[in-house]
Amino acid sequence: MDKNKVLEIESQKNNDDYVREVRIKASGVGLVVAVIFIAIFATIDLITGKNIDLRSMIILFGVNTSVNLYIYIKTKDKLVLLAAIIWAVNMTMFLIRYIVL
């Protein structure tokens, strides 16, 4: 086997390991964001007396946004950035609706 081919295979293998590590760490970041959102919405509900079920959607979209942003920052994958933007837009729409209602 050619030396360059071996180096290319090893480089790809190391890159795959790095992407796997980034995805695992991103899940941890997502959990932290979810806890923050839950605390914020619990406080808002306590103050205003609202009982709206949009919170779960906002938390879901917020977690997915943060996970995808973290993965994009580490891997620079443009498709992941697009997914993060879509999640962020959805989260913003639900958040505005939650605040207005």
Taking residues 48-59, what's their average pLDDT?
A: 74
Q: Which range marks the domain in which residue 81 is found?
A: 3-100
Q: State how many domains the chain has.
A: 1
Q: What is the pTM of this model?
A: 0.59
CA distances to 57, 59, 91, 93 from 69, in Å: 18, 15, 14, 18
Residue percentage of the chain with pLDDT more than 90: 9
- Residue 25 CB partners (closer than 8 Å, separation 6+): 70, 74
Of the two residues 28 and 75, the one the predictor is more confident about is 75
The answer to whether 62 and 40 have CB atoms below 8 angstroms apart is no
pLDDT of residue 85: 94
Taking residues 35-41, what's their average pLDDT?
A: 77
Residue type, 76: K
